[in-house]
Structure 1
């Protein structure tokens, strides 16, 4: 048997390839939308990708499931569990719809379906047994967003991201029952999760890429609870705010997207910039001179985690950045379902459009009289609740422009996050929404607390 985990650092997302080395047949599990990595490995190993499946309708990235059918001719296997609101649409006619107890055979490798609702109603997991290797014991389980290393999937995304009222409590109840299904499996069974640390699909995901059931039974907090009510209270407490693009992902992964292909994107400096504008320069360069209305999200490993809060899927996009990044940028945006990058303005041409700036200030300059200032804390709610300036108002940086800012547009507003990264993004968003007098507090809350010592 062949096994490989693919980890997308930008989305904290894991996908997998399993193959039978006797028949050279391979399946990909929870594939991301850009399929090149799977094709490269399959070619190197001499495998044919004949099947593709996923554990549930994902909310945090755009699935490559349907593209796998088009590109590789792979037969698709999808969940038929859950209610009618979350059934797969627009899949090939030969797609197999799975329920508990069904089996996918990949050559002589067996994947048995377990219905593990809680994160979503249709969530399933796959227990792998290497029959070709002569084993009758399960080697591991692909858990998707059911179980992570050190955590489990949050039950509130349908309510928080897709506005499906009441689904949080239903999901939490279902998750408690799903965990009981693990009791009959051996401790040595490996856990192959769908995400790692940094994902918003849970609140305390571990950074280790895989685990064992025995280890999780002893160390994962979820197995400490025998009382369902106490378990539900803890599970639903302090979950991170879900990025706004999650709602779009649930929709497009349910209904499907056009096949992704890299294309030539126009590079230039027209008089009018089409659609929404994202400035990918560093915060240090951006603050000096920028086009008002542009959102400043530096192009680095955290780009998708931040940009996903602000993308308007109904508009084309202009970016101010490096034209050499065009292919990678298209692939990154495609991974959260956005295919409408229309223009790249070279960073060294940004001055042509610059008409605004904002000020940075040191924590030392405000610490003695911060109570006199209008302070906006743009960290997560859990960060804010763990410690804050008593006169600070709170609004998550990703919710700026969507919820009312607790200050007037003519007020001078001092913005901070934890370290100064998110507040710089927030400064650009506030500027774009008509708040003209913005000051970014360098080094954030950590710097403020240090200056108070």
Structure 2
């Protein structure tokens, strides 16, 4: 048996290529949209992809299942559990007409890829339709599973959050019933042999849980003993209270991803190829209607950028930040170094931002004269004391509740685009987060919307340190 995790650091997302070396066949579980990576990985190991499977309808990235079905005619396996509202709607819509080769799985169904056996286990809670795949290497003579592809059900040290249908997708009243379903599903996990490996769809940094571990895999026995979320399941009431507490605000783009993956993503058949633009073309853009994504470091952006540009350095939160502040309908122009352009395009299409129409290297940019003010704590205190200043804290609500600058309005930066009308107006706006990073993203976003903004250097950490020393 062949198995490789293909990990996306920025989305903390794991896809898996599982293959039978004897027959040369492979399946991809929970792929992202730029599927050439999986095709190449399989080919380099003497395998061809014949199937693709999803554990559930994803909310944090655009699935590559349809892309693989179109590109290599892979057979599609998806869940048939959860009711009519949670079924994939694209299975009968091939680009050239007709239906994709597919199978809708119910709890207990099995299928084979070569000599590798897969069993679908309905594991609702994160989503109603969620299934886990138990993987048994029958080619090696095994009659019990070596691993469980748990998707967003069991992570290392955590469980998939059950609140997203309500907090991200807007399904009112779904949160608590989902948490109760997740509690019942834990019993199915406990029934598995302790030696079964746990292969989750996400790692540390994903917004699909609240405390995911940075270790890529685990075992059923280890998680049963040491996962805080599983250990909290001493009673249904205790578990529901634990699992719903302190969940971070989901990125704004999650709702759109859920819709896109349900109805069927647009088939790319290759990545977008944006046109290289001149500096004159860049400075002539109407940045009210075109999202000018500047990937330079904040220090460079702050002291000189094109008016209306957005600041998104290519740090780990790049996809979350851009997905929360740029809509799928907007044309996108990139300011990015040439050697980083291909990967940047990949990262954007993974979250459904396909309209990448142009780019320019940072070194060719001229006429970037707009600036954003940034002040230290002492200067901020002087401005606050003088009055005529509004305060905005863009941290998560749990962070804000642990301590904040007096009179600050709280809107998480990942939800800001949906709550612009709630941002205080009438005066200059001092924006803070924990350390100054998220507030920098928010500062550029709100400057594009016409706000007169100031970023707090060092964020609330610097503020708290200055006040603690008094």
Question: So what's the TM-score if we normalise by structure 2?
Answer: 0.91
Q: CA deviation at 1:226?
A: 2.2
Equivalent residue in structure 2 for 1:400, among 383, 393, 416: 416
Please show how residues 161-176 of structure 1 align to structure 2 within 5 Å: 161-176=168-183
Deviates most, 205-214 or 319-328: 319-328
Give me the whole-angstrom Cα distance separating, in 2, the residues matched to 1:60 and 1:176: 23
Report matched runs for 1:173-184 at 5 Å.
Answer: 173-184=180-191
Q: Deviations over 1:41-85 (max 9, x none)?
A: 211211111111010000001111011112222111111111211
2:140 counterpart of 1:133: yes
Aligned residue number for residue 382 of structure 1: 398
Residue in 2 aligned with 1:59?
A: 59
Deviation of 1:408 after TM superposition, in Å, equals: 4.5
* Deviation at residue 407 of structure 1 after TM alignment: 5.8
Q: Distance in 2 between matches of 1:350 and 1:229?
A: 57
Superposed counterparts of 1:1-400, under 5 Å: 1-91=1-91, 92-224=99-231, 225-260=233-268, 261-269=270-278, 270=281, 271-273=284-286, 275-352=290-367, 354=368, 356-366=370-380, 374-400=390-416
Kept in 1, the 8 Å contact 2:75–2:100? The answer is: no
1:3–1:19 Cα contact (<8 Å) kept: yes
CA distance in 1, matches of 2:382, 2:309: 33
Tell me whether 305-314 or 355-364 shows the greater mean CA deviation: 355-364
SS at structure 1 position matched to 2:325: coil
CA contact (8 A) 1:367 1:451 kept: no
> 1:28 Cα shift?
0.8
Q: CA 1:333–1:407 in structure 2 vs 1: closer, same or farther (change >3 Å)? A: closer
Task: Output the CA distance in 2 between the equivalents of 1:407 and 1:252.
Answer: 29
Kindly indicate whether the alpha-carbon contact (under 8 Å) linking 1:395 and 1:405 is maintained by their aligned counterparts in 2: no
Contact 1:23 1:107 in 2 (8 A): yes
Q: 1:402 to 1:47 in 2, by over 3 A?
A: same
Partner of 2:95: none
SS at match of 2:5: strand
Is the Cα–Cα contact under 8 Å of residues 115 and 125 in structure 1 kept in the other structure?
yes
Q: Residue 324 of structure 2: SS of its match in structure 1? A: coil
Structure 1 runs not aligned, ≥5 long: none
Structure 1 residue 141 displacement after superposition: 0.5
SS in 1 for 2:351: coil
Cross-structure match for 2:464: 449
C-alpha separation in 1, matches of 2:350 and 2:271: 12
**Counterparts of 1:32 and 1:361, CA distance in 2:** 40
SS at match of 1:226: coil
Q: Deviations over 1:402-429 (max 9, x none)?
A: 2156664331222111111111111111
Q: Is there any run of 5+ residues in structure 2 with no aligned partner, and where? A: 92-98
